[in-house]
A and B are shown apart, each in its own frame.
Chain A
Amino acid sequence: EPEVTQTPSHQVTQMGQEVILRCVPISNHLYFYWYRQILGQKVEFLVSFYNNEISEKSEIFDDQFSVERPDGSNFTLKIRSTKLEDSAMYFCASSELQGGGYTFGSGTRLTVV
């Protein structure tokens, strides 16, 4: 069964550093998403991406964040100048259809120290 692959599974970074979280969506999917989940809390929308541009972003997704699909297969989330409160699980998801069910990756646990 096709999978969404995320790397790394766990990233520890110093406060103020930049991190890049990587995702390989399912190959025939067209819609890509980043969500985050702070420990014990709900899954929160960050950004959606379609046709090589951002479709929608949440209030969380400020200038500190950016996304890119550099080579037609990878989908990355960059977090600049990380803060302690950025510590969370970050999930990448993709879907074949707009408004369809997602396939989520296993997530990257980001710990900012």
Chain B
Amino acid sequence: GENVEQHPSTLSVQEGDSAVIKCTYSDSASNYFPWYKQELGKGPQLIIDIRSNVGEKKDQRIAVTLNKTAKHFSLHITETQPEDSAVYFCAAILNTNAGKSTFGDGTTLTVKP
């Protein structure tokens, strides 16, 4: 089955700096890669996603890049703010697999004011 690895497990940045979180996946047939933000006591919230036919997608301060050949994808957050502090999860989905997501282990991002 699919295996998703996520790095780093913790990331601390100064407000205004950029943050990058990286994930690799094992199943080359996976074709959809969402990123979720989880705040304390809440469920994961979808913040951005990318499909395998696209190399990059941007939404304001967040962007995701995908390298299908290398089977890795990354989340980039620019101009970080304290409210960006949360746990971020990447995931990979194989469309034919009933939409089941395989999640990475999560990255705890702390943005220091």
Query: Chain A residues in contact with chain B, CB under 8 A?
Result: 4, 31, 33, 35, 41-45, 48, 50, 55-56, 91, 93, 95, 97-107
Interface of A is mostly: strand
Assess whether A42 is in contact with B89, with CB atoms less than 8 Å apart: yes
B44 / chain A contacts, CB cutoff of 8 Å = 43, 91, 102, 104
How far is the CB of B92 from the nearest CB of chain A, in Å?
Answer: 11
Q: Which residue of B lies closest to A107 (CB)?
A: B43
> What CA separation (Å) do A98 and B95 show in the bound complex?
6
How far is the CB of B51 from the nearest CB of chain A, in Å?
Answer: 9
Q: Kindly supply a per-residue 1/0 record for chain B positions 24-64, scoring 1 wherever the CB is within 8 Å of any chain A CB and 0 otherwise.
A: 00000001101010000111111001000000000000000
For chain B, residues 46 to 93, give those with C-beta under 8 angstroms from any C-beta of chain A: 46, 49, 89, 93
B18, CB-defined interface residue at 8 Å: no
Assess whether A104 is in contact with B100, with CB atoms less than 8 Å apart: no
Given A43-B89, A91-B44, residue A98 in contact with residue B103 (CB < 8 A): no
Number of interface residues of B (CB under 8 A): 26
Query: Chain B residues in contact with chain A, CB under 8 A?
Result: 31-32, 34, 36, 41-46, 49, 89, 93-106
**Which of A45, A101, A106 touches B46 (beta carbons < 8 Å)?**
A101
Assess whether B99 is in contact with A43, with CB atoms less than 8 Å apart: no
How far is the CB of B95 from the nearest CB of chain A, in Å?
Answer: 4
**Which of A35, A42, A48, A102 touches B34 (beta carbons < 8 Å)?**
A102
Assess whether A42 is in contact with B103, with CB atoms less than 8 Å apart: yes
Q: Top 9 nearest A-B pairs by Cβ distance?
A: A55-B98, A99-B95, A104-B43, A56-B98, A101-B46, A48-B98, A43-B103, A98-B99, A101-B34
Assess whether B99 is in contact with A31, with CB atoms less than 8 Å apart: yes
Q: Which residue of B lies closest to A55 (CB)?
A: B98
With A98-B98, A106-B41 given, name 5 new contacts (CB 8 A).
A31-B98, A43-B106, A45-B102, A50-B98, A99-B94
Assess whether A103 is in contact with B46, with CB atoms less than 8 Å apart: yes
Assess whether A42 is in contact with B42, with CB atoms less than 8 Å apart: no
Assess whether B100 is in contact with A45, with CB atoms less than 8 Å apart: yes
How far is the CB of B66 from the nearest CB of chain A, in Å?
Answer: 15
A44 / chain B contacts, CB cutoff of 8 Å = 103
